[in-house]
Structure 1
Amino acid sequence: MHARPQKSRLTRRLVTTFGVVVLGATAAIAGPGAFQSLFHERGPMAISQVPADNPELGLVYQGLKPAKKGAPCVGGYELTERDQCSHGPDVPPPGLKVHADVQPVAAATQQSVPATDTAAAPAEQTVLADDNVAEGADGGFAVVAEAADAAAPVTMGSAGVACDGDGVTGKRVQVLYVRDAGTASQFSKYLESFRTWSAGVDAIYNASAQETGGERHVRFVTTADCKVDVREVELPAGGMATFDATINGLKALGYNRTDRKYMIFGDAKVYCGIGTFAGDTQPGEKNRSNGGPGYGRSDSGCWAASVAAHELGHNLGAVNNNAPNSSKAGHCLDEHDIMCYNDSGGLKTFVKCADPNGENRMDCNHDDYYNTNPSPGSYLATNWNVANNQFLIAGSGGTTPRRRPRLRRRLRHRLHGRPRRLRPPPRGRPRRLRLHRSRRPRRRRRPAGR
């Protein structure tokens, strides 16, 4: 028998290189996440075991059901509200305790408010027929881009929030004070405090936007005199026992509008904070974080601007599991940052932004979830960016990345009056680029008289 000829080293290298090129081209055509899908690692893992409750820290998991593999909420928890996900309860930030009392930060006042949302909300059976909502491949809602509205003037009111339009129309954040039937109302005592904390949320989002040269304000539902509209809602007994029960109770009273995120100041001591979170990474207007309803609940031991801003951050789409510094459980790891802490993901935080004031700012280094002017090709230019959320009022500062200049084959420069180009050095020389004069064919001079 003849010996089988062995492949040369050059042949093996060519085959390996060709395979890598084909794999890379396939991933580029398929889009982000193609490499992960090729190796069966795409997307987060399903939660295999629900953590034990820790009521002292507000970590109560009753009513939260881990999403199964292939479900829209995989990696988080499912709620009974259709297509609603949650990352789970949050621990209190330093200085706050779930079972403590937070004193008012503004004087008490009197105001009569309705117990139900009197504005017409879309019926669930007609939502899918709406021109701006479609049914996604997974059976849930998929937001369709709306036609651009004429820019409405924005006014900063004396209460510290931005007001645009009529204060009601469009995608907005509605502030609610929610209690169950067995709890005495503290609405008058805390109304102005709720407005103060809401203004603090706006200040956090705008100050964070200014760090990347932009301007963003929370588009609240506001009154005619440019104050945050706060509504008192009484739920049936047990309505504050779990997050799921709260959402179901609010839905029954009409607080389930697809153009609303609900910032809830809950008169209970079950959680510090908890919120809905879509976990949608796609960039642009069709991201599910651009739709509603969304719910963020802060209980009375954690009534503060920072906690409300944190839960609203989840409602607006922070922090996705594919972010560079993701905790894999809805938060980030690079401190100091209002969305970062050691959560149930099991990963440890580290300090990248030394200023402790970052605990009241969005996105340390602005590379995970919030940047008004992301660099071309960066993570936030190609994935979901909370700064683009339609529930925020965009001021100055781009919401789309600058166009990356195209690389040209020849880089022309004017040197000594002649165009030049970059040419590779001759073989055998050190491999670095040098400037060489471009060679042009000389024109022959025609003899005189022709």
Structure 2
Amino acid sequence: MRLVVKDLDLAGGEVLIAVLNYKDAKKLDVRPKDRIEISFKGKKLVAVADISGKEKPVSAGQIGLFEEILSRFGISDHGTGIVEVKAVGKPESVGYIREKLFGKRLNYKKLYAIIKDIVDNRLEESEITYFVSAGFAHGFTEEETFYLTKAMVETGHKLKFPKPVFDLHSIGGVPGNRTTMVVVPIVAAAGLTIPKTASRAITSPSGTSDTMEVLARVDLTAKEMERTVKKVKGCIVWGGAMDLAPADDKIIKVEHPLSIDAEGQMLASVMAKKASVGADYLLTEIPIGPTAKCRNKKEAEALEEKFISLARRLRIKNRVIITDGSQPVGRGIGPVLEARDVMWVLKNDKRAPSDLRERSLLMAGILLEMAGRKNGHKIAVEMLESGRAYEKMQEIIRCQGRQPEMAVGTFTYVVHADKSGKVKRIDNGRVAKLAKIAGAPDDKGAGRP
């Protein structure tokens, strides 16, 4: 069917959407949410159909297109043209998602198809949500996790840095654990190459990218990241801006409102990003505690084995440390508050939280020893106390692009205990929830001071 393009002057986000008049939809036997193939001047794409019940906004003989489709076809604002439209079936990957919902194991071909369709925006958010939920409910085998990781790497961009490349990761679940932002400048100051890509918050009030964004740009392109690392040895950037394992950020987007982080997807998410930057050595932190992602040492050791096994298949040397995740790290919870803690540590300020400082030095020391440096902890302390780590952080910030200063939120509320005593336990989940209710991470200055 040939239809005249109408610019709806709307953007639909990542999913490609086209609006048909109900009369044309009936002729095409298309219902809401069905897929249609649109052809224009030799270019073809598949979009999700929406149906206009009346002559407005789309009349019979017209097709209303969102900005994403118009730009792909090279049709200017309020431009027009004639396109060929036909109904097509759902992608095969939808059937594979259905298989996973019923608990079936998926091979590489099927997992690759799902990930490729996520990257190409051929799946709706609801379909990605079903995939995430299926992975959470039924889990992924070791083989499936490897296939998932491989598919994420193959459908994204891969970077090259001077070898050897070092990296680190914490599985999260502990508010305020911004060790990465201290470790990277320490080891970069000592001469190691450490191109750190980080994610946005999933279940926490701030991810490393959210906190680093208080100080510097994190949405660097691949070329900007390569240039930064070549110049100053390290960076802390958001992986989603440069097409590194791009499916991961789309999956995270649907995980966030559900507050779930399925183990197999978490493993694939972490290791795909590491493989994409060409990591040779990786330090992984697994915090344990009653409200952390791993509740006890047994769970942590089981996850440690999976990390090491997956890393081995990807030819990455992985060292795993199990740390105390029973309470928050640092003082502030929320992007600006956490960034303040980080800078206090790097400046050797007396207000610096000792737990953040010591945990960062431990991790930096291990990375330095993985690089063959003796007395890694001693070197890390020297880098920090001499001010070289702070200077390196300033170099990284300048290269990535310094942000205007962001202030802590002006409105505060102090909760007074109704009786005196000693704090025995802090619930990470409740602290994180309070910070999120206050507005973190979207409101950078919000959180729990």
Normalised by the length of structure 2, the TM-score is: 0.21
Larger Rg: 1
Q: Which has the higher contact order (CA 8 A, sep 6+)?
A: 2
TM-score, normalising length from structure 1?
0.21
